[in-house]
Amino acid sequence: MRSVRARAALGATLVVAVALIGAGLAVLLVLRAELTDRAGLEAEVAAREVAGQLALDRPLDELDLGDEDIHPVQVTDEDGRLVAASQDLEAVEGTGTREVAPVRSARAPESVRDNGEASIEGGEGGAGDAGDAGDEGDEGDDSDSNGNDRARREVSSDEPVLTDGTATVDGETADYRFAAVEATNSAGLTLTVHAGAPLAAGQEAVSTVRGAMLTGLPVLLLVVAAVTWLVTRRALRPVEGIRRELAAITASQDLGRRVPEPGSRDEIARLARTTNETLTVLEASVGRQRRFVADASHELRSPIASLRTQLEVGVAHPGLLDVPGAVADTVRLQDLAADLLLLARLDAGERPGRAAVELGALVREEASQRTGDRIAVTVSVPEDESFDVSGSRGQLARVVGNLLDNAERHAGSVVTVAVGAERDAVFVDVTDDGTGVPREERERIFERFVRLDDARGRDDGGAGLGLAIARDVAARHGGTLTVGDAGGGGALFRLRLPRNT
């Protein structure tokens, strides 16, 4: 997928889809849990109503089981046997027992048995005796029934046991939430009431919400994809304009053209401005390169033409051959070629070496080799201090040599070189007693092939590359090269380099 718009639309759609699916699942789970809890609470209320009747010793056959079609009920004794159940309950799963037909519990007292035999016999012939006995028993146990028996009547206050299951009521099978609540009557018998609440309404609500989500999700994702596509297309429209203009610049090689800058202040506007700034720098660099080639060709043409003339004269008239002049022109060509080669290497980004160089020894060595200078160089280097720097010894020697050459060319009678240190830097000062450098020309003299008017004569030597090379080398060593006024007049060139620590 090569289109940014397509990738953005697809990415936004996927993110929204994941977010919506996650949120939808969370909503469904919360809704389902809420509805299930509500059904459990409804089942608990129904179970506690029946359990309250049992705690009050209501007979099993007289229990009010509420709406049996909505809340199926089972009552089991301590042995798990079913002693009461909803009339229309046909099958059940998930409660204490699957039985739906009540059986008589041997431990149940007569007061809670369903049509117990004792009650029936008392009604047929022993009713009077049983009644008298019952009356006597009631009179004799009055204090006990008002005390311990009444205290044992209770409905468990513990949290009910909630389970999920199914029940078939009046021929219809459905899912239910069952709650189990214990009740203890006056005889100390603990019965368990299982009451259910239907889950159909909750399941239908969850299903409705899920269907709405499944229907709305694709539509929403299509809307998100379409909006993202349109917004991205509109946002990237300036980028296409920039691309077309850059393609035109590449085809025409006209670096004077610029890409359109949108009026917004966003990233694309900054990209356009940065692109135009890059084109400006590139145009200036290409211009400098062209001027450099033109100036180099001009500088090379003069010594080559002079050397050719001398050689042609020598061929025609051997006695008139100016051998020293030919040698001088050859040396000049050699020096110029070396300078051009060094500049080309510096422009290519060649990094200097990281060898340790003692700058004081380097300056003394360079000064001692200048035996043919018209003005002797005065060297000032402290003997008791080390001036270590890191870099290329050959390139740093070229810098010192170029500064001394420049001083010799402009000095009247004095050329001095001094080495010193300040904080974390080492400096080399080269001074002369010439006319100095005008303040407005102090940066221009470091440009390539630039010579001030009073140094235009080619007999003075130099092609205007020495100071440019010196500053480039200093910069690539992490240092600086500046020019100022000397104390007694003339120029002061200061080379400053980081000191090794």
Classify the C-alpha dihedral 416-421-425-426 as positive or negative: positive
In the numeric block, which tokens belong to residue 298? 């001009």
Contacts of 477 (CB under 8 A, 6+ apart): 352, 389, 390, 391, 392, 395, 396, 497, 498
Q: Which fold has domain 255-350?
A: Helix Hairpins (1.10.287)
Say how far apart CA 427 and CA 479 lie, in whole Å: 9
Q: What percent of the chain has pLDDT over 90?
A: 38
Model confidence over 181-211: pLDDT tens digits?
A: 999 988 888 999 999 999 998 889 999 999 9
The domain limits of the chain are: 4-206, 255-350, 353-498
Reported confidence tier of residue 116, pLDDT bands at 50, 70, 90: very low
Q: Which two tokens stand for residue 227?
A: 């909006």
What do you get for the CA distance between the two ends of the chain, in Å? Answer: 55
Buried b (16+ CB within 10 A) or exposed e, 84-115: bbbeebeebebbbeebbebeebeebbeebbbe
Q: Mean pLDDT, to the nearest integer, of 424-448? A: 91
Banded model confidence at residue 152, pLDDT cuts 50, 70, 90 = low
Q: What does pTM read for this prediction? A: 0.51
Cα(9)–Cα(230) distance, integer angstroms: 9
C-alpha 97 chain-centroid distance: 59
CB atoms within 10 A of CB 119: 14
Asked if residue 482 lies in contact with residue 494, where contact means CB atoms within 8 angstroms, the answer is yes
pLDDT per position as a tens digit, 67-93: 877 889 999 988 888 999 988 888 999
Rounded Cα distance, 311 and 200, in Å: 115
**For 32-36, what is the mean pLDDT?**
92
Distance separating alpha carbons of residues 477 and 473, to the nearest angstrom: 6
Tokens of 457: 């004569």
DSSP string, 427-487: EEEEEE-S----GGGTTGGGSTT---GGG--GGG---S-HHHHHHHHHHHTT-EEEEEE-T
pLDDT in tens, 290-307: 887 887 787 788 788 888
> What are residue 429's DSSP bridge partners?
418, 494
Q: How do residues 321-358 score in pLDDT, each as one tens digit? A: 788 888 888 888 888 888 888 888 887 777 888 889 99
Quote the percentage of the chain above a pLDDT of 70. Answer: 87
Helix (H, G, I), strand (E, B) or coil at 198: strand
**Where is pLDDT greater, at 285 or 162?**
162
Average pLDDT value for residue range 378-404: 91
> What sign for the dihedral angle of Cα 143, 149, 155, 158?
positive
pLDDT at 121: 33
Q: Find out whether 134 and 109 touch, Cβ atoms under 8 Å.
A: no
Decide: 72 and 92 in contact? Cβ < 8 Å.
Answer: yes
How high is the pLDDT of residue 42?
92
* pLDDT surpassing 70 at residue 147: no
Mean pLDDT on 117-133: 34
How is domain 353-498 classified at the architecture level of CATH? 2-Layer Sandwich (3.30)
The shares of helix, strand and coil residues in the chain, as percent rounded to the nearest 5, are 55, 20, 30
Strand 415-422 with 154-155, pairing:
unpaired
